[in-house]
Amino acid sequence: MSLSPSKRVSSIPPYAFAALGKKIAALKAEGKDIIRLDIGNPDMPPAPHIIDALVASARRDDTHGYAGYYGIPAFRRAIADYYRSRFGVSLDDAELSPLIGSKEGLANLNLAWLDPGDIALVPDPGYVTYSKAPLLANAQIHTFDLKPENNWLPDFSSIPADVADRARLMWLNYPNNPTGALGTETVFRQAIDFCREHNILLCHDNPYSDVTFDGYRAPSILAIPGAKEVAIEFNSLSKSHNMAGWRVGMVVGNATAIKALATVKTQIDTGLPRPVQDMAIAALTGDQSWIAERNAIYRERRDMAVSALQSLGLKVSPQKATLYLWFPAPDGFSDVEFHEKVLAEAGVSIAPGSYYGENGRGWMRLSVAVPTDRMAEAMERLKSVR
């Protein structure tokens, strides 16, 4: 007797960061001190008023049962109010849905929108879920290039017409993970026009919109007139409000797509815990001034890392958004080789760009989501690498 998983699961390689996490756990078990600059896991807590809301809700007697499939009304209103105040985007109740972290929404959308053989258009480089989740729906992917000579922005004319006509959805992500590139109004309009022409659902992933520096203010693609005819946007409190472990996010935009995703979700999950929803309400509706203070700390770390890496001869520039620096591996090394070298010699883990696709090969992604003293120590350790 030989049990085996489905072909769709067998065809998908292990999630890169899950495999890396196991490797680093083994090194730590050997007594090695590893500084992880490879993952965007916010190291600071949410603001005190957000934690207070969670604790107060958890202490109530009536907040421990199922909280409903679609989010409590107050949370749904908070999402709509946030999009109105932050992005100038008006949403009616059919145009939004809470998520158990945006990643589950990114994945489940493929089940809601793709049939076997359908095509998803995926940026390269791009967040891994964009390219792997369609395979779980027995769909196909077609990658489109993001390249440094175009500031890591797409050229939609490069997508073959026959592929575009078969495509059912397209993924975009600005501010961009892993490159830190910024979306432009021109690119957003081009994407909307392209998807309208080819009857494609445009899926914009926007979790870094509140992690910005140097006066930059990230937009929502839904602020473009007519966007909701073809687009939805995913957002998350993981990065914006330091709530990665609490798994709470949202999807907003085209009502047909929102309803389809909700249909899948009601078969898979039973919604967010009530205390987490109360926490999210406090995050979205409470004092937001602490975010600027938090971003100032990230900016300090960014500048520290840029200065140190430049002193080592690496070609790196400060990004105006996201938690990441994106830079070429040094001459003579592939991205994987450089990752392995600094991990072995310095106990510092920097993500290889090839984790994010072929166009990331030869590049490195460094996260600033570690305490400032550990960032300083990591930069000092890198000086010992030869």
- Three-state SS for 221-282 is HHHCCCHHHCEEEEEEHHHHCCCHHHCCEEEEECHHHHHHHHHHHHHHCCCCCHHHHHHHHH
65-285 architecture in CATH?
3-Layer(aba) Sandwich (3.40)
The two structure tokens encoding residue 267:
């078969």
Cβ neighbors of 136 (< 8 A, separation 6 or more) are 8, 9, 12, 107, 110, 111
pLDDT for res 13? 82
Summarised one tens digit per residue, pLDDT across range 71-96 is 999 999 999 999 999 999 999 999 99
Residues 329-347 have pLDDT tens digits of: 999 999 999 999 999 999 9
Which pLDDT score, from 0 to 100, does residue 386 have? 74
Residue 314's pLDDT band (cuts 50, 70, 90): very high
Name the band, by pLDDT with cuts 50, 70 and 90, for residue 97: very high
CATH class given for the domain over 7-45+289-382? alpha beta
When the pLDDT of each residue in the chain is averaged and rounded to a whole number, the result is 96
pLDDT digits (tens, 9 = 90+) for 130-189: 999 999 999 999 999 999 999 999 999 999 999 999 999 999 999 999 999 999 999 999
Radius of gyration of the chain (CA): 21
Residue extents of the structural domains in the chain: 7-45+289-382, 65-285
pLDDT band at 12 (very low <50, low <70, confident <90, very high): confident
Q: What is the pLDDT of residues 363-380, one digit of tens each?
A: 999 999 999 999 999 999
Question: What residue ranges in 75-194 does DSSP mark as E strands?
Answer: 96-99, 119-124, 140-145, 167-172
pLDDT score, position 46:
98
